[in-house]
Structure 1
Amino acid sequence: MAFLAGPRLLDWASSPPHLQFNKFVLTGYRPASSGSGCLRSLFYLHNELGNIYTHGSVLYHLFMCHQGGSAVYARLLALDMCGVCLVNTLGALPIIHCTLACRPWLRPAALVGYTVLSGVAGWRALTAPSTSARLRAFGWQAAARLLVFGARGVGLGSGAPGSLPCYLRMDALALLGGLVNVARLPERWGPGRFDYWGNSHQIMHLLSVGSILQLHAGVVPDLLWAAHHACPRD
């Protein structure tokens, strides 16, 4: 990828206060820009370029330097949190459906219960004051999924052979990404050394992609199994 010449970048102290959320990333901040200026930043090097190209949070990372300031940033962050919540919700519903395929009296309640829990978790994430608080908010969804995985692991649930390890890896990767992001590693160990590449948020993005691939690897055989499986009669 050939980079174009961009505007003069800012250091951490000169960047807008609402973008000063990682004090270990010292340089490479884009100045406040118009919408077209934000789009142009797709083609020059800055400290959000890696985040833009490694994850689904493209709108948030691309337009976070918009000249609309903190008001625009807050809306972008809310949109991003809604996307995370939707992935956590819609990704888990087919897992619950397949796990409780032979328990028709319990399956609807579990699906509705997880959806309601996801709504609460999403609201807490939207109103969370910090990155760690947002991670704790989504932890409720993770705890509910672990209950479902546990039911499958001890034989109280059903599903395709081999899908459960994919789901466990899915949540392990997602949790690891969240912890790395909260801990600000590795840039905490070397402030300024990971401003453009290899910082915690980029690592979280890559781990999140791996998590979604594990979800896909587990859900596809699960749904195929559910389409052909005949539950035993009591």
Structure 2
Amino acid sequence: MSPLLGCVAFIGVALWVLTRPTTQVQFMEKIIFSTYFAGAILCLGMSFLFHTVACHSVSVGKLFSKLDYTGITLLIVGSFIPWLYYGFYCRPQPMVIYITMISVLGLLAMIVSLWDKFAEPKYRPIRAGVFIAMGLSAIIPAAHLLIVDGFDFLYKKASLVWMLLMGGMYIGGATIYATRIPERWFPGKCDLWFQSHQLFHTFVVIAAFIHFHAITEMAQKKLMEG
């Protein structure tokens, strides 16, 4: 249920932002934010569909499992683009390089998610490696900003605190999911509510909205600077 609620909420926010007059939200800002809205809506929407139809049949379950992973990829790529755009606002060359980098990694992730060959157990390390590379690739542009602009820029203009909070929510949700908490402590008590998978999805939705707040903050600061 949480992915559906998150999907509907993001659709509402996207409609509100994208229908603002250009005097309030400039056209380029709408394009940049659209990449994030698309990633969040597709990720949460595909997650909801997968969990709804997974038990239909093996073939349907496999198809929507692939789409679920594709949605995760789109959310990751969509999260990177606004942050890179505003973080390197005055440096178009590294901006383009880093956006191209995450886009290529995203394409590779979708290939390993959709191609049946990579669904085989022996390719599991490759699948995991691509997704890990996508996440860790944030270190490169972050280090670039730290070296060139200093910690103060990361803290004040690149929404460092919100980004760390977002990362903590994602990691926390994944940890809960991987360790099967709390059902491992209360067997049979969390079959319907408060199971680790539900908590994981809740953490993901919260993290997605934290990221939205972070990039909104970055956009506002850039617009105020002119």
Normalising by structure 2, we get a TM-score of 0.67
In the alignment, what sits opposite 1:80?
68
| Alpha-carbon distance, 1:108 to partner | 0.8
Q: Deviations over 1:86-130 (max 9, x none)?
A: 111111111011111222221111110111012223334554568
Residue 211 to residue 70, structure 1, CA distance change in 2 (3 Å): same
Q: Deviations over 1:168-210 (max 9, x none)?
A: 1112211221222122222223332211111111111111011
The residue correspondences of 1:135-146 to structure 2 (distance < 5 A) are 137-146=130-139
**Separation of aligned partners in 1, 2:74 and 2:103:** 10
In the alignment, what sits opposite 1:161?
157
**Match for 1:174 among 156, 159, 170?**
170
Q: Deviations over 1:130-178 (max 9, x none)?
A: 8x96665422221112333343345547575371211111122112212
**Separation of aligned partners in 1, 2:131 and 2:206:** 18
**Separation of aligned partners in 1, 2:5 and 2:192:** 12
Q: Does the CA-based 8 Å contact 1:89-1:118 persist in structure 2?
A: yes
In the alignment, what sits opposite 1:6?
none
Normalising by structure 1, we get a TM-score of 0.65
Corresponding letter in the other structure for 2:70: C
How many residue pairs match? The answer is: 179
Q: Relative to total residues, which structure has the larger helix share, 1 or 2?
A: 2
**Separation of aligned partners in 1, 2:210 and 2:145:** 17
Q: Does the CA-based 8 Å contact 1:96-1:107 persist in structure 2?
A: yes
SS in 2 for 1:172: helix
**Separation of aligned partners in 2, 1:124 and 1:52:** 26
Q: Give structure 2 stretches of 5+ with no counterpart.
A: 8-43
Residue 122 to residue 173, structure 1, CA distance change in 2 (3 Å): farther
Q: Give structure 1 stretches of 5+ with no counterpart.
A: 1-48
In the alignment, what sits opposite 1:198?
194
**Match for 1:71 among 59, 66, 85?**
59
| Structure with the greater alpha carbon radius of gyration | 1
**Separation of aligned partners in 2, 1:107 and 1:50:** 34
Q: Does 1 or 2 have the higher relative contact order (CA < 8 Å, sep 6+)?
A: 1
Q: Does the CA-based 8 Å contact 2:88-2:94 persist in structure 1?
A: yes
Corresponding letter in the other structure for 2:195: N
**Separation of aligned partners in 1, 2:184 and 2:71:** 28
In the alignment, what sits opposite 1:43?
none
**Separation of aligned partners in 1, 2:82 and 2:128:** 23
Q: CA RMSD in A?
A: 2.8
> Which of 69-78 and 181-190 deviates more?
181-190
> Which of 190-199 and 146-155 deviates more?
146-155
Q: Does the CA-based 8 Å contact 2:176-2:196 persist in structure 1?
A: yes
In the alignment, what sits opposite 2:89?
101
**Separation of aligned partners in 2, 1:208 and 1:75:** 22
Residue 104 to residue 111, structure 1, CA distance change in 2 (3 Å): same
Q: Does the CA-based 8 Å contact 2:2-2:205 persist in structure 1?
A: no
In the alignment, what sits opposite 1:123?
111
Q: Percent identity?
A: 23
**Separation of aligned partners in 2, 1:178 and 1:129:** 23
